Structure 1
């Protein structure tokens, strides 16, 4: 099977590519710097201006590209967060429009930020009302762009709404730092929900959606057991064998990192309704098992000079 991926060299994309090639799928990775990566028998890096007609028939298109959310949210940063998602998605839509043989399925990343934040509501894919904060607006614009493929090309389209992805990279590296420095504890009231998911389940869920013709539209990719921040942090401290002592006031975080602090001080309780309805079996449904598997005590490897 031939699969086209954007963001294929990133945190999620690299894991997904490894899983797909292990099943002998050929992965075409759309990248702005194809010369920085080595092609193999099953991986081909291609530029964004690649002539679509030179591609073989593509079965699946997976869109994971987007500027990182981490960093101080200046006006320029927020513009980049939005544009990097909608413009790349629109480019991929254009590529599919040019393909003589259309893909069977389009899986485009989104986020549970679509729902906005709440300490008492439960969100599933049946929740149609979106939030009104910045991340919700990004998710709505992202999904609206992607859904052109379903509306105009009649290709099965999945909006993969990712929760907090746990792995050796990504958000977890930021969460573990204060705990490793013996300054760990809840953030603000600690009542905010954290809808998390292990990186292995992210990869497996994407492949599950690719193969399951009954899945389309929004899909929550989160573990079935969200945790409040105070409980999540307590489990994280336990796994790291560090004390759980301090409370970090929300105003302090807001002062330090600005609007991005909403990622830590607010949250939402999200359940993976469609995945469970289709009998997807989570490898890591429970937080403590997920954190133990990630091996948080391991020292990070030095970056390759050839990256």
Structure 2
């Protein structure tokens, strides 16, 4: 049994694993609240996801459970005590020369070295701010506006924009997965927005579809992205990246990437490539577990008393 541990509101991302026709191994999608209430679990592997959405004490308890599972012989992925979250990750990648753009805490009222920049919350993966800020005056005004509307700048980042459009007003975002030591290509998407996330139906040309298919077949960026995963201490997740004037730019590494079931585009070759990629991902996941191990996890009472109430149960605060 492979356990994927996620936050309660974001288990939907694992639908593609649970319902994949290629899956030949048992899998359970569990929440951290569930995990922290168990005394013992049986698992061949355990993947910790959604670490950027945990509160600090949850992150600390997850790291303890990780070690109990590891010491019992369960294969574990994404050590909560070592995984770098967004600000630390992007700062580290810039320091190592993997990225050449910088990120700044918004609350410090930064003066970025280059523009344009944009705002993004440090937690989660949504892009709540949909405009590029072209200079310092625009940034200062935006920060003033955000605070005036009642949004704190704490846990908000100012990021130098790094993505050269593939054509006028059209941007592309590439993806690659890591499962253990295996690097697997994901499909890139194209949008008429600098903040590429899901892709825009009907925008890609046939030539662009063919480029994506060829990229997924050759997986040319695997070893270029491996150092980013290593620096982040992430051994299961998906990196989103692009290129700025030919230079690689890693945007994030998501420990709980959404796994789909099919491509769903008008281009048959693209759909087939996506299907091959998803099959390879599922088959690779099937190889990460060994023999099932009964492992004692037994969380501390101090942490259990701080868990969210479940089924109407009220837990007292000391």
State if a TM-score over 0.5 links the two structures: no
Which of 1 and 2 has greater Rg?
A: 2
When normalised by structure 2's length, the TM-score is 0.37
- Would you tell me which structure has more helix in proportion to its own residues? 1
- Would you tell me which structure has more strand in proportion to its own residues? 2
When normalised by structure 1's length, the TM-score is 0.38
Higher RCO (CA-CA < 8 Å; seq separation 6+): 2
